[in-house]
Chains A and B, each alone.
Chain A
Amino acid sequence: MGQKTLEIYSVELSGTKDIDQTDKGDGKEKYRGLKNCFEPKKNHQREELKKELDLDDHKLSIKELEEKYGTNFITGLSSTQAAELLAQNGPNALTPPKETPEIIKFLKQMVGGFSILLWIGAILCWIAYGIQYSMNKSSSLDNAYLGCVLALVVILTGIFAYYQEAKSTNIMATFNKMIPQQALVIRDSEKKTIPAEQLVVGDIVEIKGGDRIPADIRLLSVQGCKVDNSSLTGESEPQARSSEFTHDNALETKNIGFYSTTCLEVSASPAGTATGMVINTGDRTIIGQIASLASGVGNEKTPIAIEIEHFVHIVGGVAISIGILFFIIAVSLKYHVLDSIIFLIGIIVANVPEGLLATVTVTLSLTAKRMAKKNCLVKNLEAVETLGSTSIICSDKTGTLTQNRMTVAHLWFDNQIFIADTSEDHSNQVFDQSSGTWASLSKIITLCNRAEFSPGQENIPIMKRVVVGDASETALLKFSEVILGDVMEIRKRNHKVAEIPFNSTNKFQLSIHKTDDPNDKRFLMVMKGAPERILEKCSTIMVNGQEQPLDETTAAAFHTAYMELGGLGERVLGFCHLYLPADEFPESYSFDVDTMNFPMSNLCFVGLLSMIDPPRSTVPDAVTKCRSAGIKVIMVTGDHPITAKAIAKSVGIISANSETVEDIAKRLHIAVEQVNKRDAKAAVVTGTELKDMSPEQLDELLTNYSEIVFARTSPQQKLIIVEGCQRQNAVVAVTGDGVNDSPALKKADIGIAMGIAGSDAAKNAADMVLLDDNFASIVTGVEEGRLIFDNLKKTIAYTLTKNIAELCPFLIYIIVGLPLPIGTITILFIDLGTDIIPSIALAYEKAESDIMNRKPRHKKKDRLVNQQLAIYSYLHIGLMQAVGAFVVYLTVYAQEGFQPGILANLRVEWENDNVNDLEDSYGQQWTSYQRKYLEWTGYTAFFVGIMVQQIADLLIRKTRRNSIFQQGFFRNKVIWLGIASQIIIALILSYGLGSVTALNFTMLRPQYWFVAVPYAILIWVYDEVRKLFIRLYPGSWWDKNMYY
C-alpha cells in the first residue's frame, strides 16, 4: 500500500517537449507553473520538466478509496495503522531545501578568496623552513612560525566569516519556525486534534472555513466549499470545491483539495465542515513537488559576489605576477632560491589584504541589520547589495502594490460619482452623505450582506478586524461599519426573514427584512448583484431620496457610470430595494426562497458601488523613487488587464501622461495596427499575447517600452519575463508570495518574498523577505544596497592603498639590498590590526549625493574595483605612503648611525649572524643582535609611518567626489573611533608589546611618530585637489582618469 502511494506521481524530464504544446486548453494554462523549467548546466537548451499526474483517486468512489487505503470513512484509521504508515512514509511536512552541510560551508570559507594565496604563503614558509632545517638542524624557527601565523590568519578569518554567515542564516531560521499546524482527524472512530505533521495517507480529516488544508485530500462530503488556490496556481478567485468528480485532470477536478491551500469557507450544512481523506502527504503532495523542483533552478552568483571575485582576481593577479617577477629577478640577482622563496612569501603577504573579506562580511551584515529594522529581512548577506544594483523590479500586484483587500472605491447615486477614501484606515470619507438616496443605499449595503466580524474584536481598529465572508462582502461590511457605526446592531434591529445567497447563475443576492421603524409594517427587500442584472429588475430609480421612473436618460447615465467605474478596473455592484406592500405581505407572511413568492421585478434602483483592491498609500511615492533611481518597475499579475492597468496608473507604474498603443488608437480613433508603436511608452501585455511571443519579440518589448504591465500571466510566464529581463543584462528583482512564484524568485537576481502573505516555499526560494509585504520597503532596500556598494568601494580603496606601502619595502629590499624595512608579521599587524576598524567605519559613511537620483550601476561597466580605483590607490596614494614610510625608516637608521648612503647593498652582511662587527657610517661596529634590534625598530618605524598616513587615507576615502568639508568631518562618528583604534593599537604594539621579541616591535622614540605627518597632509591635500578638479571639470580627462 505504501508503495502504491509512492507511485502516484511520476516526475519525468523531457527535453523535447515544447512548452507551448502543453497548452491544450485555456484551463490548463494556469497549471503551467507546475512545470518548472530549469537549465541543466551543460546544454543551454531549455528543458521542460513535465509532470504526469497518475493521480486517479478523484475518479474512485468512496468505497474504492476505502479499499485502496484500508480506511473507513466513518471510523477512520486505527491508531496502530496510522503509526505504521507514519513510520513508513515519514511525517507530513515538506523537507526543507537541502542545506549545504556546515562543514562544507566552513571549508568553503577556508579556501575562498585570498585564502588560497595565504595558504600558498604558509606552505612556502614551511617548505622554506624544511629546506633550512635539512641544511642546518638548529636553524631558526622564524619561517615555521610565520607559516603558522599565516595559516592561523586564514583559519581565523574563515571562522569569522562563517560565524557571520551563520548568524544571518539563524535570523531566518527563527523566522521560519511557525506555529505547528493542527488537524482534526478521525481515528479509532474518534475525533482528535493532532499536529498536521502526523497525518498519514488514509486519514479522514475535517476542515473548517479558514483552515489551511493539511495535506492533499480527496473531499468526501462537503457543501459550499471554496478554496484559495492562488499560492498553487496563481488564480486569485476562490475556487469552488465539492465531492463530485468533475474533471479527468486531478488538478481541475473539484473533489481534491491541495496541501497548504486555504479553505475559505464551508457551508453550514451538514456540520460546517468538509470531510476528506488524505491521499498524499509531505513531499509527495503537489505543493511539495513544486517546492522541491524550485530548488532545481540554479542559483546565480550575486552581483557583489561577482564583484568581489573580480577584485580578488585583480589583487591575486597583481600579487602572483609581482611575486613571480621578483622571484625571477631575485634568482637572477644570484639570491639563494630559499631567500627568493621568502621574498615571494613577503610579496604575497604584502599584496593580500588579509582583513578585507572579513571587513566586507561585517559591512554587509551591518547593512543587513539596518535593513531588517526597516522590514527587509535579508537571508543571504550578499543580497544586500544586489538590491542596490537592481535595474528592473518585477512586482506582483496583489498584496505588494495593493493592500490585498477589496475596498469600496467609488459610489454612484443621484447621478453622481462619489469617491470613497481607500487609504489604509478609511478615516476620511468625504462624500455627501446627506442625500436620502445614501440613506437607502447604506441600508441595503448593511442588510444585504452575510459577512460578519469574528467575535471579540471590539478594541481592534475596524480595518484590521477579521471578517468571516468573501472579499466584497467584507469590504462592504467594513465600509458601512466605518460610516454607520455598529452594523451588527442595525442588522439586529432589521430582522432578516428570508435570504437568497449569491450564486453564479443568479448573480444577485437578496434578503428580506422587517424594518426598524415600528410604524412601518412593510417588509424591506434588499438586493445587490451584477449591475446589469439588477437594473433589469428595476422600473424606478431613486434620485435625491425620491423614486423616479427609470427612463432612457437615467439608464444611459447608469451605463456611463458603470462603464467608467468598470474602466477603472473596479468591481461594480448594483443595489436596489423594494418596500413590499403591507397588505399583500402581512407580518405573518412566510417567504419561500425556493418558490420565490415575492416580486422580482419593478424594484427601485438605488445606486452603484465599486470596489477595488486599492494601492498601498506608500506605493506611488516608492514607484516614483524607483523611477528617479532609474529602476524600471514592471507589474506582473494574474489579474485582469483593466484592473492591472488601473492599479498601474494609480501607483505610477504607468505614468499619468503615457499611453499604450490601445490608448493612442482610441484617442485618434484609428485601428490599433495603424498606431506608430514608437509613440507609446507604456504597454499592457496579457498572458495570451505573451504566449505567442518569441524571445526576440519579448526582448524588443522589454527594451522599447519603459512602462510595462503584464496581466493574466501564469507563474510560468513570470519565469519567462524574468529571463527576458536578464537577457537585457539587467539585475532583476522579483517579488512574489505563492508557491508557484518560487522558481521565478529563485531565478531572479534577488527574489523578494512577502513575509505576511508569502508561502513557505516562496520564502525559502527568496533571498529577502519583506516583513511588512510593502513595496516601499524595497525602495529602502535599494537605497541601502547602493550605499553599501559605494562604501565598499571606499573600504576597498582604503585597504588597497597601503598594500603598495607594504610591497615597496620588499621590492627595494630585493633590488637595492637595504636592511628589510618591514617584516611580514608587522604587515599582518597592519592588515589585521590597525586597519580593521577604520575600514568597517567607512560602512557608516553617508551618501555623498542623492544615490536614488542616479541610474543603477551597469553590471559589466560599473565595477566595484575599477581601473581608476586600482591605479589611484596603488600608484598615487599608495606610492606617497610608501615614500612617507621610507622617510620614517631612513630617519631611524640615520639617527642611529646608518646613513642612507651606506644602507644600499648592506643586506648580506647585515643579515649575516656571524658578522659581529658591521661598521656604520661613523665607524662604530654593530653585533648581529644589535642590528636585529635596530631592524625591528625600523619595522616599527615603517609601521607607524604607514599607520599615520592611513589616517589621512581614511579621511580622504570618506568622499569620492565631494570635498571632505562638504561631507562633514564629524558626521560619521565611527570614523573617529576607527582613527582612535588605529592609534591605540599602534601605541600598544610599540610601547606595550615592544618587549615581546616574537612580535618584532620595539619602543619607538616619540618624535618618530610625527615624521610621516607631512606626507599624511600631502595625501589629504592631493586628494582634495583631485576632487576639486573632478567637480570643476566633469567629463574631462581628469574626471575620467581620477574618479573611481
Chain B
Amino acid sequence: MAGEGEKKAVLEMVQADGADEGCVTFVLHDEDHTLGNSLRYMIMKNADVEFCGYTITHPSESKINFRIQTRGGIPAAEPLRRGLNELSDVCQHVLNTFQDSRGVLWRS
C-alpha cells in the first residue's frame, strides 16, 4: 500500500510478507531529524508501541525510514496518526503559551 501522489511520493508503507499489520516501516520523504526525532519521541510515549525508531538511509537523500512495531495487534498506522496529532497539539500549546508570555513581557 503506497501513498503516492501524481508527482512524487510523500509517505510510503513497506511491510514484510507474512508479518501482521503491527510491524510496518514508513518511508517519509523530504524529512530529516527535525520531524523524525520529535515524532519518534511522541510515538515512544504511547504504551501500545513495542518498538519505534527512525533512520536516515543516506545523508544525500532526504528521506527517513520510520519503523513502528505495536503490541496487541494494533495496526501500525494508528500510533503514527496519534503521534502526529499529539505532536501537533504540543506545538499548538507551545504557540499559545509563547504568545501569552510574550504579551506579558510587553505589558510589564
Answer yes or no: do A and B interact: no
